[in-house]
Amino acid sequence: MADYSTTEAAPDDEATDDAAAPVNNGRSAKSYLALITHSRRAFKAYNDRCDNIELQLANLERLAKATRDREYQMFWANLEVLKPSVYSRPPVPVVTTRFNDRRPAHREACEVLERCSIVNFEREDIDSTMRLVRDDLVVNARGVAWCWYEIDERKQQRARVAHVNRKDFLHDASARYWSEVGWVARCTWLTRKEARKRFGKYSGNAYSDAAFAKQKDADGNAEQTSTAEFWELWHKGEQRIVWVSPGCDNVLDEAKPEEMLQLDDFYPCPRPSFGTLKKDTLQPVPDFLYYKDQIEEVNELTARISSLSEALRLKGFYSGGAEDLADAIEKAVKTTNNNAILIPVSNFAAIGGQGMKESIVWLPLDVVATTIQACINIRKQLIDDIYQITGLSDVMRGATNPNETLGAQQLKSQYGSIRVRDKQFELVRIARDITRIQGEIIAENFTPETLLAMSQSDIPTVQQLQEKANGIHQQMIALQGKVKMAAQDPQAQQMAQQNPEQAGQLVQQAQQQMSAFEGQIQDLQNTVTIEAVAALLRDQRLRPFIMDIETDSTIQPDEDAAKQRVTEYTTAVGGFIAQSFPMVQQAPQLAPFVGEMLKFVSSPFRAGRALDGAIDDLVEQMQEYAKQPKPDPNAARAQADAQAQEKEMQFKQQEAEQKAASTAQELEFRKQSHQMTMAEKTMDLRAKRQQANIDQNNALIAQGLPPQPDTEMDDHRAMLAQMASDRQQTNALLAALTQALTAPKRIVRDGAGKPVGVEAVPPQNTGAQANGYNQ
């Protein structure tokens, strides 16, 4: 769409070098100029009244005069109290998903649009625009703002917003409600040079027929350059945007369908912020007109009090010989000297002067003082009447009675807030409408690059995701190549056969890396791109969203009330969590219900976007927690008792095994000691027997008899055989004892699963650890 904004006033250029400019299409501007003329005539009375009101409010020349009548500047004082009461700080845009939609694309789109709206408000100085709208509302009962889209000299996209003067805004005067308005128009004042730059390439030199003249300001001072009015008219019935100017027979420009902003309400301006309206019309009625009479009476009384105060001087009469009584009185009245005044009177007896005591007769001052006091009382009553009409309580004006109770002052403050609440809501509403219109302009016209630059978001582009995906794909190909080469390498196959565990670990690591790459690819596919966000904003615009601002963001906050609300919110939420979360631990299926109840408890309090998101995340976590299986506390307790008893039985078993091993060692020691004792006795007996046999054989040989056979050796052999038999029996007994002590055992349990003892495992079940036996 073309740049429809005005530029800074340049020096007037009377040249009209438009010979090469295209010729206008010839569309007549007569019907559109007739609409403007009719509307201007219909709002003439309103504009005239507003001119008088603005002169009453602020007229530097009149207020600076030294000879003017004294005035009580109550109108200005009331406005200075009312202005900050209805608006004091810029609005804060908030974009949220409709129905708490958790889809990533919608949430990212809301975040981007909200950030862009905040940045755009700062670029366009929305606070200055809102203050001008506020001033028009409280003074003239109508404030107007206008939005449009343009690309500035630096090729930057802009969603512009500006205040429109009451005389530069017209609409269908026959409409009873804003929904019935068929057209709106805004006037822009351009010089010849600006008009040629704006309309020359569309309509040739047709703009030169406009009524260029040096305009005068409110004080009657003429401008330095000649300007003419050019009207931008949006006709809803014809779905057409045209530019016309009084004096030009043809339309100067017309927007093409593809250049028109596709706004929901068609108009680039929100519904004006209205005060009081005339019944069944859109004709504003300024609030000043409702107490104009009281203001004028207050000013008259103020001037009268001032005049009487001038006459409140000490004046008297004394006897004289030259002047008569009439001249003396006239002189006394006209004298303005602040000092005591004495006037000679020739016929002193005529004014009652008798004797020395009454040689001077003073002009009575009690009558003047009484009159002044009466005027002050009447003015005070009129001022109270004005406060009743305007609804400005003394609490709002900061002039409370210290003897009043706190409840009485709170009632007054509440009453005053109610009276101005409509104006507060009007400014909140027009701020919200400006946000919506600018949101539509941003969503439909701004490029993804501009959206990223304004929002400072880290949302990736399609190209960035493609680059990441290509990098991951290359890594996957490289990993597959390594695995394939290892499978075809004989040396690697030989190493795998020699060390199968290490080979299995390498294969498992390769599979894990491949799974990780596939997960990264899946995450990239689910990632929201700025192109997807821009497409969503353009295609569906604001239908998936609801745009709103904080309802009290345009009003100066009450710090004490804000602290009290925070305390109330913390108390309410903290008490609810303390009562409900133990229920969730006992009955996890109640988690979704408790989450929704937490939202309901928080709903009366404006907790902010971050805290609302945290509450949503908490509700989701509670729902996930509810889905997870929960262990039975009785089963867990029984299992712990069984494990403790089992450990106790294992300890006793180990103690018994150690005791059996000690007994076996003692038996083995006794066996060896017995064997050694028996061997010593045998050797001793054998030695004695051998010596006896030797002695006997020597005696037989000496007698010439043959020696006796060695029966001792036979006995010795028999004894050795007996000892071997005894040793085998002992070894068999020790082996049986060792096997009984070291055999696998199992824990014996009763019907309830409680351990009651230990028994040896039969030989056929030895080593069956899968059945719970202890080696």
What pLDDT does residue 345 have?
65
**Cα 758 from Cα 366, distance rounded (Å):** 125
Work out the average pLDDT over 183-203.
91
Distance CA 54, CA 48 (A): 10
Predicted confidence (pLDDT) at residue 412 exceeds the cutoff of 70:
no
State percent of the chain over pLDDT 90: 22
Of 522, 518, 493, which Cα lies nearest the Cα of 507?
493
- Residues 399 and 392: their CA atoms lie apart, in Å, by 11
Which band of pLDDT confidence, cut at 50, 70 and 90, is reported for residue 322? very low
Rounded to an integer, the average pLDDT of 127-154 is 93
pLDDT value for 628: 65
User: Which position has the higher pLDDT, 634 or 649?
Assistant: 649
pLDDT category at 760 given cuts 50, 70, 90 is: low
From CA 557, how far away is CA 707, in angstroms rounded?
A: 140
Confidence at residue 230, expressed as pLDDT on a 0 to 100 scale: 95
| Higher pLDDT, residue 735 or 214 | 214
Tell me the pLDDT band of 720, cut-offs 50, 70 and 90.
Answer: low
Residues 457-463 have a mean pLDDT of 87
User: CA dihedral in degrees (668, 671, 673, 674; nearest 10)?
Assistant: 170
**The residue type at 138:** V
User: Is residue 144 predicted with pLDDT exceeding 80?
Assistant: yes
Pairing mode of beta strands 240-244, 228-235: antiparallel
Q: Which of 201, 266, 225, 292 is nearest to 11 (CA)?
A: 225
CA 661 – CA 370 distance, rounded (Å)? 129
**What's the average model confidence in pLDDT over 88-110?**
81
Residue 767 has pLDDT above 80, yes or no: no
Higher-pLDDT residue of 678, 253: 253
Other C-beta atoms closer than 10 Å to the C-beta of 155 total: 6
Q: Which residue has the tokens 């949220």?
A: 96
Interior angle at CA 278, CA 277 and CA 282, nearest 5: 65
What pLDDT score does 1 carry? Answer: 39
Q: Is the pLDDT of residue 724 over 80?
A: no
Segment 349-355 mean pLDDT: 56
What is residue 545's predicted lDDT score, i.e. its pLDDT? 64
Q: Is the pLDDT confidence value at 373 over 50? A: yes
When pLDDT is averaged across residues 221-245 and rounded to a whole number, the result is 88
What is the rounded average pLDDT of the residues 567-580?
80
For the chain, give the longest Cα–Cα distance: 218
pLDDT at 45: 94
Quick one: CA dihedral 414, 415, 416, 417, positive or negative? positive
pLDDT band at 702 (very low <50, low <70, confident <90, very high): confident
Q: Is the pLDDT of residue 436 over 80?
A: yes
Please identify which residue in the block is written with the tokens 């963001």: 553
CA proximity to 47, closest of 210, 228, 173: 173
pLDDT per position as a tens digit, 707-716: 666 555 556 5
Average pLDDT over residues 230-255: 93
Q: CA-to-CA distance for 363 and 548, rounded, in angstroms?
A: 71
The Cα-based distances of 589 to 185, 415, 625, 628, 633 in angstroms read 60, 48, 9, 10, 17
Digit-coded pLDDT (tens) for 641-676: 777 777 777 777 777 777 777 777 777 767 666 666
pTM of the predicted structure, to 2 decimals? 0.67
- pLDDT (average), residues 132-154: 93
- pLDDT greater than 80 at residue 406: no
**675-700 mean pLDDT:** 69
Token digits of residue 316 = 């008297």
Of 20-34, 113-127, 415-429, 465-479, minimum mean pLDDT range: 20-34
Note the pLDDT of residue 609. Answer: 53
Residue-averaged pLDDT of the chain: 76
The helix (H) or strand (E) run that includes residue 752 is: none
Per-residue model confidence (pLDDT) at position 610: 56
Distances (CA, A) of 381 to 298, 310, 386, 400: 10, 23, 9, 17
Query: Which pairs count as long-range contacts for 411-418, CB under 8 Å and 24+ apart, including other chains?
Result: 415/391, 416/85, 416/391, 416/392, 417/85, 418/391
Q: Hey, which bits of 545-658 come out as E strands?
A: 545-549
Question: Region 273-295: what's the mean pLDDT?
Answer: 92
Amino acid at 409: Q
pLDDT of residue 584: 75
Which residue shows structure tokens 């009785």? 634
Q: What percentage of the chain has pLDDT greater than the value 70?
A: 67
DSSP 515: H
Please report which confidence band the pLDDT of residue 202 belongs to, taking 50, 70 and 90 as the band edges.
Answer: confident
Which of the two residues, 570 and 52, has the higher pLDDT score?
52
Stretch 590-602: mean pLDDT, rounded?
A: 75
Q: pLDDT category, 234, cuts 50, 70, 90?
A: very high
Would you state the pLDDT for residue 243? Answer: 95
Alpha helices (H) in 185-228, listed in sequence order: 192-203
Give the lowest-confidence range in 53-62, 219-228, 432-441.
219-228
Distance CA 115, CA 439 (A): 10
Distance CA 1, CA 711 (A): 140
Q: How far apart (Å, rounded) are the C-alpha atoms in residues 441 and 241? A: 17
Q: Which amino acid is at 713?
A: M
pLDDT tens figures, 17-75: 444 444 445 688 999 999 999 999 999 999 999 999 998 888 777 778 777 788 888 88
| Dist CA 606 CA 626 (whole Å) | 28
**For position 8, what pLDDT does the model report?**
35
Q: Write the Ramachandran bin of 478: left for phi over 0, alpha for psi from -120 to 50, otherwise beta.
A: alpha
pLDDT for 86 equals 87
